[in-house]
Amino acid sequence: MLSVIAAVAALNGVFLAVGYCLLAPALKELPALVWTTFAGIALLVGAAAIGVALCVLAALGLQTGLRTLLSVAGVFAVAGGLAALLAPQPRLQTIRFRITRPRRSQLAGAVFGTAAAMFVACACALTVFAAFRSSPWLNDTYTFWLPKGLVLGSHGLDDRLFTQNDQYVGFVSPDYPLRWSVIGGLEMDFVRTIDLRAVNAQISVLLAAFVASVARLLWGRVRTWILWTALAFLVVSAELLHETQSGGADVPLAVYVALTVLASLLWLASGEGFFVALAGVAAAAAANIKVEGAPQLVVLVVLPTIVVWPIVRRRGAILIAALVAAWATSVPWLVWRARHDVPSDFDLRSAFDPGYLADRAGRIGPSAQAVVTNLVGRDWPLIVPVFFALTILGVVIERRALWLLPAGVFGACVAFWVWTYWAGATPLDFWLSTSAYRVVDGLLLATAVTIPLMAERVLQDLDARRIARISGAD
């Protein structure tokens, strides 16, 4: 067990160091204490940058073991350090968040916020502890995610195993992107043997880093009690906690999808360059974890940006350009796949063929039922109900159609998953029972990070009305 703890600490230490180097241009001159509050973001950024770079190098024919890791980490560290030295002064102002201070009437809020913050911290600590003591329950972990990573680390993309052929027993799901496999392989390199607990530990560390990142990004932008309560809604979701022990790529993907959504929202709202850069890095990670990463972000980020285009014209264009650049990092892998005739489980041409879809219309009902059931089930008890309650409140209070946009995006993402199951060739009952409970993770985490922003907006509206009423009475 000690070797697992040391290995996970060492790998994440590399991620953290690289992440801080990459954040250095934005953080320089800030006090050391403020730097520490960026630890979650630094870890996710470092893991994303290294993972994506190793995926590109793997597709170009390199091995992704420890030597390559340290080389890539060194390059990023030097690049970040140089950028920090050369960064112009004004850019430093961009992420100096306001710190909200409690007013006299907010004692109850401060106590409640502290309780929620401690609850979130303790729940994350228990989750990380439990993950270190669990072996992945999802067989995908040992049937393909981790084995692929082991081969990538020692031999690179071995044609015999990464393509389907008559002579060798290749990997299951050969079309899946490589990032989660690469990370798993590195974990085993650090452990120096095969110990699957390290994979779960890595998932739990990523989730804890995500929670810390959301807290940092929203600090000073929403009331602290709202922030921590919303994060508490997330960490009481039993299915999310259970999936930190799956070993699968769904929680890591969800973390980066939700981080992209939050960073994109903050970019569109504030225009601070730090956020669009963060959105780009997170989107690149998402695209290189699972095939559904990029399409989900089209639905969750690109689609709403186009809807509000008249309001966000320039920022929207920069955001979409950043996402396209991020997704371009998966091109080397797609080229490798195409050159080696690696088939996809999902036939995109059929998925847009009306005749094909009409013949399979019977799949729509069960798919919709499974997706919706998993979104609002007992194991994700609070996120969706609170999200829709806030939507209704917002519509009633402000009477603006814009309040319907988050719900519309939510519906579009549900439709995306129903369409995926509808158009896919896999037997439906098997497919739904083995995946519908986890493909919704990205949508749920993305929904969870919008809750504090929506709640803050509702409360600001109510505050403004109260002040207006008092002023009117005077």
Partner 1 sequence: MRATRQDNFHVARIVTAVLVISVFGLLASSTAVTESVLARLPEYAPILRKLPRYEGQRGDPDLGRLQASIDVAAIRRAAEFVPDDALYYVEAPEPFAEDVRRVAQLYFLPAAAVRHATDAEWILAFRSRSLPSGVKDVESIALSRDLSLIRVARD
Positions that interact with partner 1 (CB under 8 A): 1, 4, 102, 104, 107, 110-111, 114-115, 117-119, 122-123, 125-127, 129-137, 139, 141-143, 146-147, 150-151, 154-155, 158, 160-161, 166-169, 172, 194-198, 238-239, 241-242, 245, 378-379
- Four-residue CA torsion sign, 280, 286, 289, 294: negative
Closer residue to partner 1 (CB): 154 or 426: 154
Contact 55, 288 (CB under 8 A): yes
- C-beta of 185: minimal distance to partner 1 in Å? 10
- C-beta of 182: minimal distance to partner 1 in Å? 15
| Burial per residue of 399-420, b for 16 or more beta-carbon CB atoms within 10 angstroms, e otherwise | eeeebeebbebbebbbebbbbb
* Chain centroid to CA 278: 11
Cα separation, 32 vs 43, whole angstroms: 17
Closer residue to partner 1 (CB): 235 or 414: 235
> Contacts from 411-414 at CB under 8 Å and sequence distance 24+?
412/299, 412/303, 413/296, 413/299, 413/300, 413/443, 413/446, 414/368, 414/371, 414/372, 414/375, 414/443
- C-beta of 153: minimal distance to partner 1 in Å? 9
Closer residue to partner 1 (CB): 12 or 200: 200
- C-beta of 107: minimal distance to partner 1 in Å? 6
Cα separation, 384 vs 447, whole angstroms: 7
Q: For residue 339, how many other CB atoms are within 10 A of its CB?
A: 10
- Four-residue CA torsion sign, 337, 428, 261, 199: negative
Closer residue to partner 1 (CB): 136 or 280: 136
Closer residue to partner 1 (CB): 172 or 376: 172
Vertex 337: Cα angle to 336 and 340 (nearest 5): 85
Closer residue to partner 1 (CB): 94 or 135: 135
Closer residue to partner 1 (CB): 170 or 271: 170
Closer residue to partner 1 (CB): 137 or 309: 137
- C-beta of 385: minimal distance to partner 1 in Å? 17
Residue 87: C-alpha distances to residues 29, 32, 79, 357, 380 (Å): 11, 19, 12, 53, 43
| Burial per residue of 52-76, b for 16 or more beta-carbon CB atoms within 10 angstroms, e otherwise | bbbbbbbbeebbbbeebbeebbeeb
